[in-house]
């Protein structure tokens, strides 16, 4: 059954009949794809040697005031870019990306198109797709929607942004973000299992939690990783700690303190404080190179964990 009629796929549950008008995420009934590319700058086990087979969808259930993809993600812009893809065209696209050497199929901001993606992935697999499928999400997910991805998503790349309701309310218009994101993460771990990386370095299954440390908000970053550790244990996910925030895309907020701090980059002190806590809690994963505008990563800040070198 198609769930975009009276849509409640994401926690906004805006109830839109997207065949008639776009939902609060800006998405109509059919997937709109802004870009298809081999993407070399995802985390190393997602990009592999040749790049992740990224398919960028327009629209987003969140509305982050610092979004770097605002030209395709905001409600106003969601219908202005890219083109509509049918289920068959999506399936063809996945197969073409695999032929081009993609390590994974990387579905970016896919949630509003969950149902058609479940069918398109199944069709591509029937026609020979074998590489892992990555659900690359902003983390604002419902457990039921995540649960329906069993058999579709091998890997979740879960951008867990905030815990504080005040922060997520001010910056993403979603005071309930942390509550939903934490519950959804548990479901992702249930669906995808523990992190497993093949001998070729490509992730076969499991969850990578991404977290962008925001300037002036490192206490909330620490709260996020503590909550994940307390709820599920640090070994249940890989953690990708990002430092790439730049104020270039910041659209402003009514909160004076936040508004001032988000007009600068994150300091080394702020980032290191979060990294040290992640280390202390025993998270394994990736950190971004500091002082570089590029999104490059240093894999694994602790000793390699050979148990994760597990071929499928
Ligand atoms: S996915 Fe979009 S249309 Fe569906 S509930 Fe969320 S915001 Fe509304």
What residue ranges define each of the domains in the chain, with the CATH number in brackets?
32-302 (3.20.20.70)
* pLDDT average, residue stretch 94-111: 97
Tokens of 152: 């579709």
Residue nearest to atom 3 of ligand 1 (CA): 23
Tokens of 49: 């040697």
Q: Three-state SS for 310? A: coil
Of 296 and 198, the one with more pLDDT: 198
Query: Residue 184 and residue 65: Cα distance in Å, rounded?
Result: 23
Lowest average pLDDT, out of 29-38, 39-48, 278-287, 293-302, goes to 293-302
Which protein residues touch ligand 1 with a CB less than 6 Å away?
Answer: 7-10, 12-14, 16, 18, 23-25, 27, 61, 111-112
Query: Residue 41 and residue 37: Cα distance in Å, rounded?
Result: 11
Ligand 1 atom closest to residue 22's alpha carbon, by position in its atom list: 3
157 neighbors 134 (Cβ within 8 angstroms) = yes
Residue 75 pLDDT greater than 80, yes or no: no
Q: Which residue has the tokens 């002190």?
A: 269
Q: Which residue has the tokens 């190179």?
A: 289
Q: Is 292 exposed, middle or buried (0-12, 13-18, 19+ CB in 10 A)?
A: exposed
CA nearest 42: which of 240, 192, 182, 212? 240
219 neighbors 261 (Cβ within 8 angstroms) = no
Percent pLDDT > 70 in the chain is 92
What pTM, to 2 d.p., does this model score?
0.92
């Amino acid at each position: 059954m198609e769930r975009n009629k009276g849509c409640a796929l994401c926690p906004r549950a805006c109830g839109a009949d997207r065949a008639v008008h776009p939902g609060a995420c800006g998405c109509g009934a059919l997937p709109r794809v802004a870009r298809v590319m081999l993407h070399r700058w995802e985390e190393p086990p997602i990009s592999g040697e040749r790049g992740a087979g990224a398919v960028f969808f327009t629209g987003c259930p969140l509305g982050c005031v610092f979004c770097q993809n605002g030209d395709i993600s905001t409600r106003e812009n969601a219908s202005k870019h890219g083109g509509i893809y049918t289920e068959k065209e999506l399936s063809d696209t996945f197969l073409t990306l695999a032929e081009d050497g993609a390590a994974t199929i990387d579905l970016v901001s896919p949630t509003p198109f969950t149902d058609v993606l479940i069918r398109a992935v199944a069709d591509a697999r029937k026609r020979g797709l074998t590489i892992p499928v990555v659900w690359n999400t902003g983390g604002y997910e419902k457990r039921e929607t995540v649960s329906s991805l069993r058999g579709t998503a091998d890997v979740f790349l879960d951008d867990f942004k905030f815990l504080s309701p005040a922060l997520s309310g001010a910056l993403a218009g979603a005071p309930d973000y942390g509550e939903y994101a934490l519950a959804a993460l548990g479901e992702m771990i249930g669906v995808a299992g523990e992190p497993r990386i093949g001998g070729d370095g490509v992730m076969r299954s499991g969850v990578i939690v991404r977290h962008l440390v925001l300037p002036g908000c490192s206490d909330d970053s620490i709260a996020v990783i503590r909550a994940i550790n307390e709820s599920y244990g640090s070994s249940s996910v890989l953690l990708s700690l990002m430092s790439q925030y730049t104020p270039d895309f910041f659209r402003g907020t009514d909160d004076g303190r936040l508004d001032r701090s988000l007009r600068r980059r994150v300091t080394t002190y702020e980032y290191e404080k979060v990294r040290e806590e992640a280390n202390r809690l025993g998270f394994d994963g990736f950190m971004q190179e500091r002082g570089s505008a590029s999104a490059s990563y240093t894999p694994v800040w602790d000793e390699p964990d050979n148990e994760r070198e597990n071929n499928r």
